[in-house]
Amino acid sequence: MRTSPGESPRRDGHLVVEDLSAGYKKTAIIRGVDVAVSKGEVVTVIGPNGAGKSTLLKSVMGLLEPMAGSISLGGEPIGGLPANKVAAKGVGYVPQVRDVFETLSVKENLEMGGYHLRRPEVQERIEEVLLAYPQLKGMLTRSAGKISGGERKMVAIGRVLMTRPSLVILDEPTAGLSPKLAQQMLEQYVARLTAREVAVLLVEQRAREALEISQYAYVLASGEVKLESAAASILDRDDLGQVFLGRTEGAA
Amino acid sequence: MELNLALGFGLVTASILALGAVGFTLQFGITNIFNLSFGQVMTVGMFAAYLINVQGGQSLWVGVLGGALAGAVVSGFLNKTVFMPFLRRGVSLDGIIIVSLAVGLVLENVMLAFAGPSFKAYNQPRTHSIHVLGMILTVQQLLIIGISVAALVGLHLLLRQTRLGKAMRATAANAGLARTSGIATDRVTMIAWCLSGALCGAAGVTFALNLATFDTTTGSSLLLVVIAAAVFGGVGQPYGAMLGALVIGLATEFAALVSPNLKEVIAFAILVVMLLVRPDGLIPSAATKETMGAR
């Protein structure tokens, strides 16, 4: 039983992943995964280490070629496209580590985010990003490898916002941040992305905090979706700890 | 007086080494391939300039341009037909070093087959020497310094001011992230190979010009010193390579005051000391080992 009582799995959205299998060399890490994310909502994927969360994100981004299944964005198939083409379709991806160009300045990082924009547009979008992240204003010429973890993540998110993406993929954006900063990152920056009518696909270790800003969630374990449901109904469950680990048999 | 002379020759040598070392390091910074065929690509540049200058009767400076162009074409061709396919097949970067060694040997022997083992020399116009700040340099040597400075300033502007240059630095820093930012890293990498080949070709021609004669092995012997300069500066770091070239260029010419045989000795002594003190060179690279073949 994949869903909570009274719910059925969702199949519609801006991003629709169907029956996806992917992995490295010939070994599938995720198998038969269905995920859907609509514009203006945060969808979180939670699950234990090694569940295949990053593999899922990388396949959507085109960093891994799917072995089977389909991925579409706004009804257009994007499965199997290389990452630079997927980015050009309006997908922004913030990896967990190595999320900025360390040897480039903050400003150059933003410029690279808008790589295929025309020159006047680049300047315009940088202003737009600075409006959302005014903290970055004072550090535009600084090397992105030499700023704090929180600032760095802002640069990373700001970089993907340069193209005004329709889908933003975030792989554990709070990793390495203090609990307070993590909370702030999720509530103020990740949740607010939805105001731009962006679809947000989020992977988080801080499951409870992530669910609180999400509309919908998937529990991934051993490469399969064990449970999908409105985020609120997962938060309400008494066996939350077990659910995070993908153990839902008893409750469902 | 002798010191001033050595300073002048040192600057010329440094200019030549800088072209080669920056070319070598630019390509390494983006691909992480320690390309040992770079020496023979320099020789290709020397022969291209020879064809233009001696066989074609054109000016030597057209020859330098031709040598750079030939270096760019050969380097780009090798990337497309040899290095990229091997990387795609998942050959390790260590394995690729051996591949590059083999490619270099093939190139060298092909040139040997066509050009023969004899030494070649360019048609250089007789020029007078010019005294600058106590240094005595020929017009050619001054032009070599000029070519090198112009090429390196041009490269600096490219890397810092243009979209393509920034994309190259972004690809060198983090190729995966560059791809997810919409940068066509394969194309950027290809351009880097050509650019590095052009610098390498120019280095070859100017080296041969300064040396007066060359044969099919001249490039590979130059490569060792070029690598010393590149590694000294922190391999993958263009500015470090420039500095490395300056230090090693000057040091070798000052050592030559004692004995010309000491030139390479001093180059590698400096390199060894540098690696003992700072294993990553003067400016450590931020890039990690990530192959370009992966998507």
Round to whole Å and give the CA distance between B231 and B277. Answer: 13
Which of B163, B164, B180 to mutate: most A Cβ within 10 Å?
Answer: B180
Domains contained in chain B, number? 1
Residue in A132, A103, A102, A101 with CA at minimum distance from that of residue A115: A101
Cβ of residue A93 closer than 8 Å to a chain B Cβ: yes
Residues A84-89: what's their mean pLDDT? 93
Condensed to tens digits (0 to 9), the pLDDT of residues B97-144 reads: 999 999 999 999 999 999 999 999 999 887 788 888 778 888 889 999
Round to whole Å and give the CA distance between B58 and B125. Answer: 12
- With 50 as the cut, is the pLDDT of residue A252 above it? no
State the amino acid at position A203 in one-letter form: V
Round to whole Å and give the CA distance between A89 and B138. Answer: 57
Q: Cβ separation of B295 and A98 shorter than 8 Å?
A: no
Q: Is B129 helix (H, G, I), strand (E, B) or coil?
A: strand
Residues B7-24: what's their mean pLDDT? 95
Condensed to tens digits (0 to 9), the pLDDT of residues B190-246 reads: 999 999 999 999 999 999 999 989 999 999 999 999 999 999 888 778 899 999 999
Round to whole Å and give the CA distance between B234 and B242. Answer: 10
pLDDT band at A248, cuts 50/70/90? Answer: low
Among candidates A82, A116, A160 on the partner chain, residue whose Cβ is nearest the Cβ of B179: A82
Output the pLDDT for position A250.
44
Number of inter-chain CB pairs under 8 A, A vs B: 79
Helices (H) and strands (E) in chain A — how many of each? 9, 10
The alpha carbon of residue B185 is apart from the nearest alpha carbon of chain A, in Å, by 8
The alpha carbon of residue B135 is apart from the nearest alpha carbon of chain A, in Å, by 39
Chain A residues within 8 A of B25 when measuring between CB atoms? none
Which of B88, B177, B237 to mutate: most A Cβ within 10 Å?
Answer: B177
The alpha carbon of residue A160 is apart from the nearest alpha carbon of chain B, in Å, by 7
Q: Is A91 helix (H, G, I), strand (E, B) or coil?
A: strand
> Facing residues of A36 across strands?
A16
User: Which CATH number do you get for residue B288?
Assistant: 1.10.3470
Q: Is A44 helix (H, G, I), strand (E, B) or coil?
A: strand
- Pick A9 or B230 by higher pLDDT: B230
pLDDT band at A5, cuts 50/70/90? Answer: low
Helices (H) and strands (E) in chain B — how many of each? 12, 2
Q: Cβ separation of B181 and A112 shorter than 8 Å?
A: yes
Q: Cβ separation of B287 and A93 shorter than 8 Å?
A: no
Please tell me the pTM assigned to this model: 0.89
Q: Cβ separation of A83 and B295 shorter than 8 Å?
A: yes
Q: Cβ separation of B176 and A104 shorter than 8 Å?
A: no
Chain B residues within 8 A of A146 when measuring between CB atoms? none
Cβ of residue A1 closer than 8 Å to a chain B Cβ: no
Round to whole Å and give the CA distance between B32 and B51. Answer: 33
Indicate the angle between helix axes B2-31 and B163-173, nearest 10 degrees.
70
Residue in A108, A29, A70 with CA at minimum distance from that of residue B168: A108
Chain A residues within 8 A of B287 when measuring between CB atoms? 103
Condensed to tens digits (0 to 9), the pLDDT of residues A155-175 reads: 999 999 999 999 999 999 999
Chain A residues within 8 A of B181 when measuring between CB atoms? 84, 87, 112-113, 115, 159-160
- With 80 as the cut, is the pLDDT of residue B293 above it? no
Round to whole Å and give the CA distance between A182 and A97. Answer: 15
Residue in B75, B32, B18 with CA at minimum distance from that of residue B228: B18
> What 3 state SS string does A150-216 have?
HHHHHHHHHHHHCCCCCEEEEECCCCCCCHHHHHHHHHHHHHHHHHHCCEEEEECCCHHHHHHCCCE
pLDDT band at A121, cuts 50/70/90? Answer: very high
- With 50 as the cut, is the pLDDT of residue B177 above it? yes
pLDDT band at A249, cuts 50/70/90? Answer: low
pLDDT band at A3, cuts 50/70/90? Answer: confident
- Tokens 């007066």, residue? B212
Residues B32-45: what's their mean pLDDT? 95
pLDDT band at A1, cuts 50/70/90? Answer: low
- With 90 as the cut, is the pLDDT of residue B280 above it? no
Cβ of residue A82 closer than 8 Å to a chain B Cβ: yes
- Does residue B172 contact residue B31 with C-beta atoms inside 8 Å? no
- Would you call A8 exposed, middle or buried from its count of C-beta atoms within 10 A (0-12, 13-18, 19+)? exposed
| Range name among A25-34, A178-187, B119-128, B157-166 with the lowest pLDDT average | B119-128
- Does residue A219 contact residue A46 with C-beta atoms inside 8 Å? yes
Residue in A17, A34, A32, A19 with CA at minimum distance from that of residue A167: A17
Output the pLDDT for position B285.
59
In whole numbers, what is the pLDDT of chain B averaged over residues? 90
Round to whole Å and give the CA distance between B64 and B147. Answer: 9
Q: Cβ separation of A63 and B287 shorter than 8 Å?
A: no
User: At CA B199, angle to CA B194 and CA B200, rounded to 5?
Assistant: 90
Please enumerate in sequence order all residues whose Cβ is within 8 A of that of A49, keeping only pairs 6 or more positions apart, or say none: none
Cβ of residue A117 closer than 8 Å to a chain B Cβ: no
Please give the residue of chain B at the shortest CA–CA distance from A96. Answer: B177
State the amino acid at position B271 in one-letter form: L
Domain that holds residue B256: 2-294
- Tokens 């990152």, residue? A185
Please give the residue of chain A at the shortest CA–CA distance from B171. Answer: A101
State the amino acid at position A205 in one-letter form: Q
> Facing residues of B215 across strands?
none
CA dihedral angle for residue B142, residue B144, residue B146, residue B150, rounded to 10 degrees: 180
Output the pLDDT for position A210.
94
Output the pLDDT for position A78.
96
- With 80 as the cut, is the pLDDT of residue A139 above it? yes
